[in-house]
Structure 1
Amino acid sequence: MSDGSNVRVFRGQLVCPSTGFQRDAVCKLAYGQRYMTRVATEARLYSGKLKRLQGVYVPQYHGHFVGQTDEGPASCIVLDYCGKELDLLFLAMPVEFKRALICAMSAIYDAGIRHFDIRNRNVLNNNGLPVVIDFGEAEDHVCERTMEIVEGVAAPMDYHFGCDELHQLCIDLRIWKPGMFKYITSYRPVQYLYRPYTLAEMAPDDWSYDDAVDEAYRAIGEHLEEFYPEDYAQWCSIVDEIPLPSQARLRASDSTLSLGGGGFTSAMNGSRSSSSEDQ
């Protein structure tokens, strides 16, 4: 299947004549101490913390072998064949596959392992379901994730989420909607989508208050139109009914703005429960 200078992967049949056992398998063969150590790490994890995930999120593991070859010491692990490497970027995969990949990686983290090398070549497509491989760089790990992964909500900040690798994977897969939106020259947390007048206070000093409010409404509307289209029409009707304030007059209150129970509100509630950015 692959033939590198230090690691070679072969596909074949695992057969036991006495029992009739037969499996489509791969043999990952490593030469040199560095690569043999990585294979040994994989063997330890497959036979330990990943054992209950075998055949579901990771391949079935059949053994670790060490010996001498014409090319020197070598070691190998034998695993079930679980499909081909992805030929598409994660983002281009079907949504069901992406959801399953999040489940797989969450289970791996919950088992006490950090992978450290999540990319296309280390995820197989097994009849439409992901199987994660290559744990040579993985480490024992206590995941500090503080919340469940909820699809379709605004992305929490990584330091609130608590697990940077899973957080980045969710971002890469577009599991969440953006957690930030652009206002003038900087990005602000989506909590400010509720608070255009507070947002206007963050405009650069050379912006007039009226212009800052105009831009706040425009930036919020643009974000809602793209990511919360089910709420965009309601937002437009709210904007039409509220006169924009002038700095010389009493400023409008953010509390006068409220969307109904649509997608934006639901998504924001999922994010607000884990964030203090709106304080």
Structure 2
Amino acid sequence: MSLSAYLQPDLPGEAYTFEVAHGCNKSDLVFRSAKMIYEGDGTELHRGRLFRPSEEPDLGEDVVCKIAYHPTALSCIGHELAMYYALQHLQGVCIPVVHGYYLRQADLASRSCLVLSYCGEPVKEPFAGLDIEFKRALVQAAVHIHDAGITHSNLVEENVLDYHGLPMIIDLEEARRHLCGRDRNIVEGDISPRSSDFKCDELFQLCEDLKYWKPRTIKSVHGHAPISRGMTVEDLADTYPPHIPRDVALKKAKAAIKDHVKRYYPNKYKEWKRQRRALSHRQQSKNTTASSSNQVADFDVSGATTAAPLGA
């Protein structure tokens, strides 16, 4: 079985012939390039149609041919193929489908061709700017890859495609075998763990880049203080230098917690404001002078509860 690859749209009659090296296709195939989408490092990427000689080109599969013509690139694509097949159960789920791997042996210019399904364009936003549904799907995709015993080793924006609103991870040239050491689930909006506690550098860095977790520190007088579960204004004020008067420290701590909650927990902050307004109306109707701040729960700055922040 062979692949006839027409790589130059301006020369429609000139084809490179590759012989199948790995794949399940039982017939000869034709690839006709529509355009080159990348060139560099001894590699070319062509997007076009893959079809049988008896078929109309327009009815073929929308694919990308990754062609290597430099010895180093040939080796890299051979390794990439092995990684794709190690993740075969994820093909079409969060990585492209492999349609075949072909070789063209020549004395002076050997080439290889990895044919992959076309899965969209790279995301246009930095990871942190992606919408939350896409972030969740990307984290899940990366977890699936790790659970299959592979680490990608280059999870950056250019290697994540937007395929009809879902992520497809590409470029497995640097992927390697990996026994993931993480011992916890990844929970969106949880407080960021320490890298040493999380025990998987790649997934940790991905979540940090996505801003998938809330900060584990809060602004203090001199830098930032670590957040603990159930942290109160008094707890934060205790981290301030002793030369700051206690009433000043408490005031600054209240403001810091309010700002932190407003920025990182906007929905809970809005709910707290709603509770404050409702309580104020009830107090006015009862003609009471009780302080509302003593009747609305304090906000747990760690985000562990839905209580409200002090001050305002």
TM-score range, shorter chain: 0.7 to 0.9
TM-score for both structures, normalised by structure 2: 0.70
Asked if 1:224 corresponds to 2:261, the answer is yes
Aligned twin of 1:47: 85
1:134 aligns with 2:175: no
| 1:211 aligned partner | 248
Q: Is the 8 A contact 2:230 2:304 kept in 1?
A: no
What count of residue pairs does the alignment treat as equivalent?
Answer: 252
Amino acid at match of 1:40: G
Q: Distance in 1 between matches of 2:128 and 2:108?
A: 41
Q: Quick check: 1:14–1:24 contact (8 Å CA) kept in 2?
A: yes
Q: CA separation in 1, counterparts of 2:250 and 2:195?
A: 29
Q: Judging changes above 3 Å, is the alpha-carbon distance between structure 1 residues 76 and 188 closer, same or farther for their aligned structure 2 residues?
A: farther
SS of alignment partner, residue 92 of structure 2 = coil
The unaligned stretches of length 5 or more in structure 2 are: 1-36, 280-290, 308-312
Offset of 1:105 from its aligned partner?
Answer: 0.9
Query: Do the aligned partners of 2:225 and 2:239 also contact (CA within 8 Å) in 1?
Result: no
CA contact (8 A) 1:97 1:129 kept: yes
* Cα distance in 1, alignment partners of residues 213 and 241 from structure 2: 30
- The farther-off stretch of 223-232 and 126-135 is 223-232
1:138-157 to 2 correspondences below 5 Å: 138-157=175-194
Contact 1:27 1:77 in 2 (8 A): yes
**8 Å contact 1:194–1:258 — kept in the other structure?**
no
Q: How many angstroms does 1:167 deviate by? A: 1.8
The residue identity in structure 2 corresponding to 1:127 is H
- Equivalent-residue separation in structure 2 for 1:126 and 1:141 (angstroms): 26
Q: 1:16 aligns with which of 40, 44, 52?
A: 52
The alpha carbon displacement at 1:18 in A equals 7.0
1:179 is aligned to 216
Give a deviation string over 1:180-203, Cα, whole Å, max 9, x none: 211112222221661433333322
The yes-or-no answer on 1:264 pairing with 2:306 is no
Higher helix share: 1
- Give the aligned CA root-mean-square deviation in angstroms: 3.2
Deviations 1:234-278 (A, max 9, x none): 799999449xxxxxxxxxxxxxx8558x9933489xxxxxxxxxx
1:74 to 107, 111, 117: 111
Letter in 2 for 1:30: A
Q: Are residues 24 and 210 of structure 1, via their aligned partners in 2, closer, same or farther at CA, if it must alter by over 3 Å?
A: same
Larger Rg: 2
Q: Secondary structure at the match of 1:265?
A: coil
Q: For structure 1, which segment, 86-95 or 202-211, has the greater mean C-alpha deviation from structure 2 after superposition?
A: 202-211
Any gaps of 5 or more consecutive residues in structure 1? 243-256, 269-279
| Matched residue, 2:138 | 101
Instruction: Give the 3-state SS of the residue equivalent to 1:117 in structure 2.
Output: coil
Which is worse superposed, 205-214 or 58-67?
Answer: 205-214
Partner of 2:121: 84
8 Å contact from structure 1 (residues 228, 263) kept in 2: no
**1:71/1:200 Cα in 2 relative to 1: closer, same or farther (>3 Å)?**
farther
